[in-house]
Amino acid sequence: MAKQNAPEKNAKTPSAREARLKAALKANMARRKAQARARAEDVAQDTGNGPNGSEKDS
């Protein structure tokens, strides 16, 4: 019963942690999307197809 004040003391820590995690997740997702776009572009160039699957005009 002596530790009732502990949650109030640590109330700011989880929100700061959540903000850091949210920022890290956003950066990670942006990196992964950029990698996926680059891979799709490489595949499209190798096969001669555009990003929508149709052939490019030469």
**pTM, whole model, 2 decimals?**
0.53
Q: What is the pLDDT of residue 11?
A: 57
Q: What is the pLDDT of residue 13?
A: 65
| Amino acid letter, 38 | A
Question: How much of the chain, in percent, has pLDDT values that exceed 90?
Answer: 47
User: How many CB atoms within 10 Å of residue 50?
Assistant: 13
d(CA 57, CA 49) in angstroms, rounded, equals 9
Q: Is the pLDDT of residue 32 over 90?
A: yes
d(CA 21, CA 32) in angstroms, rounded, equals 16
The predicted-structure confidence for 11-28, as pLDDT tens digits, reads as follows 566 799 999 999 999 999
Q: Token match 């995690």: residue? A: 21
Half-sphere exposure of 8 (CA within 13 A, CB side): 3
d(CA 5, CA 17) in angstroms, rounded, equals 20
